[in-house]
Structure 1
Amino acid sequence: MSNVVQTPRRDIGLKRRYRAERRFRAYGLLAIGVGLLFLVILLWSIIAQGLSAFQQTTMTLPVYFDEHIIDPKGERLTNPKVLITANYPLLVRNTLADKLGVDKNNHGAMRELNRMISGGVRVEIRKLLVEHPDYIGQTRTIDVLAAADIDSAFKGQIDLSVPEQNRKVTDRQIGWMEKLASDGTLHKAFNKGLFTFGASSRPETSGLGVAIIGSAYMMAIVLILSLPIGVATAIYLEEFARRSRFNDIIEVNINNLAAVPSIVFGLLGLSIFINFLHLPRASSIVGGLVLTLMTLPTIIIATRAALRAVPPSIRDAALGLGASKTQTVFGHVLPLALPGILTGTILGLARALGETAPLLLIGMVAFVANYPATPMEPATALPVQIYMWANEPERAFNERTFGAIIILMAFLAIMNIAAVLLRRKFERRW
């Protein structure tokens, strides 16, 4: 009789547990779905706004390098500075005027034509003629960057239907754009300058070249310093150090340093490396040292976890065969822990690559237009360049901000994928 009464109650309890389990799974799937939804929205907003940065509006023009404009007195053989001070934008403006049938005596129209051309054309043509002075007196077809407003209008980022006084592109310039686009003179090309140009006040001539070089210098410094120091520290603490209050304090501090806000490391670098050691401000060497301090705890913790994951039987077998403690660690334990160490190192480097706050405090927010030849010269970094472009008021810098974010995310994704592949390739399951 008791069994008959208890069986339905037991079934009811099982059904409740099953329902609770299903609800828990549904909540988990819902949480994952919401997280993925926000991730997709974030990635889509970045890609949608930044993809256009990888194209730049360009004019392909047959420019006549008029000697009367470049070197009217014929002094370039004895005075090479003549090629530096010449009025190169006038050459392009005259070419555009001839192509569009604009009267060169119409100063208003010529000013509008001039605003269609990037101010960077002066540097590009000067560099071309310094390398090829024999081009003077000849007609050469060259690519000329359009001004930022023309670039934005040609990409559809400016509403051309609003009244003329409410936009930066005039009706006459719109007509010229349509005429130049119809014959292929005005077109969109791959924006290689995004990867090669340095800092500039003009959006169309701004790029990540200096930032990429600066980030590469800093990552090299972080790797060279943090990997051997972090691995050596982890090996000592995990394999050789005896339990003592001093070692316990060290371990606690290492764990605490891993959670310290990155801006604190920037303050530390500012006070020690710049104010005390007088290293050059805004240089890659200071940025690399600061990021090394920030990355060390991550590498130490990851290395200790990798060493701890090696089974004790490996150590016992090596010691039983007569190997010393040092031989056991470096000949058997360390090679088996190498995948975990490399994974932790790559993840630490990825975190350092995306840091901005400590670099702002050491002055890497400076305007740097030239490539740094050494880590001691002024430079900037990818996240800092993104920060600077995000604060610019001009519309064209907005797409470059998101384009730089895409490039930074690509670097971070490559590093994280490399960490996963290394772990899968070399990891051993015991």
Structure 2
Amino acid sequence: MFIETKRCHVLQESLLSSASGYSNYRGILNWCVVMLMLSNARLFLENIIKYGILVDPIQVVSLFLKDPYSWPAACLIIVSETAGWILHIFNLTCMLIFPSATVLTVTSMTPVGGVISLGIYTVLFLKLYSYQDSNRWCREIRQARAKRLTRSYSCPDVPQSNGSAVHSHVSYPGNLTHRDMYYFVFAPTLCYQLNFPRSPRVRKRFLMRRLFEMLFLMQLLVGLIQQWMVPTIQNSMKPFQDMDFSRMVERLLKLAVPNHLIWLLFFYWFFHSSMNFVAELLQFGDREFYRDWWNSESVTYFWANWNIPVHKWCLRHFYKPMLKRGTNKFLAQTAVFLVSAFFHEYLVSIPLKMFRLWAFMGMMAQVPLAWFVGRYLNGNYGNAAVWMSLIIGQPIAVLMYVHDYYVIHHSSTE
């Protein structure tokens, strides 16, 4: 037993002697770590004593926000012409899809609120399209001038108009500022220009008159709709459900007068009072929002003169580019009616949460009507045909939409 105990002590001593050799380097590593920490702590303390605290996250962010156009690498990757065009199309598409999806899915959204919301987004869609298109023309002209080339179109600039005053003249790309873009967003026009005609001052009396007209006519419109149109429309539902043709015609004729009067008041409220109010407030010099459409001897003349901002947009950004690409004139006009019909349907069917294409069909019916009036009627006969289409055509569409809306949303619950 003594021999075994002695043998164990010898074995233990041999193990301890081998552990104290080169295989046990943990202490050396700890020593290196401690020395490294102390040396770096000295350097860190020396840097703090010499320079102070220099860490400032806000300063780093401000470097990127101060002049984002000075990032050549990021601009080459993100804002190339192809990528910019794709992002522009994506933005415009979302501008139409997202509001319409919201109107369709949110049950608390009323038809009137939906029409107003989609109308604002449609105006913004047309403005941003014009903004990109106009600046693209200016960029191409600038490149062409650099190469001593000429273009068949010119960069949109200030139109010569009497009584206008230009506050400051800018040229591309000096117009690419937030101030310029936001002015265009709120200006009563759909076509972008680098230098809009400006009025020299704000006429306070003119501004107050337009404001009074806006408030008074709005109350009058609401009162006429509630007192005159709503009862007539409600009484028209049964003849349409029973398909009583004689009573349907009688209801249609009864609705035509108040509907047309309300449309005329709305036209004056929007195109004269409201748009002149905004133009005067922003010192916007171009006040041609409509022409003498009431003297129209053809349907084409009416559509070209009753809504000048939309007509100029269609002419400048849709009709003329199609002609330059070799499209037939009649096909180009039909395409303009198609686009107009799409937006009419977009603004009416989606807020009502039903798709009956009455607005689209009514707009497309203007194409054969315009051809017939322009070919066979002229003078007073053409003017009478235009007035007839306005007085009779609108209440037909109103009754069709109201009837379908009533059937879909109310008749099933009764």
Q: Given the two structures, how large is their TM-score scaled by the length of structure 1? A: 0.24
Q: Which has the higher contact order (CA 8 A, sep 6+)?
A: 1
* Between structures 1 and 2, the one with greater helix share: 2
Larger radius of gyration: 2
Q: Given the two structures, how large is their TM-score scaled by the length of structure 2? A: 0.25
* Between structures 1 and 2, the one with greater strand share: 1
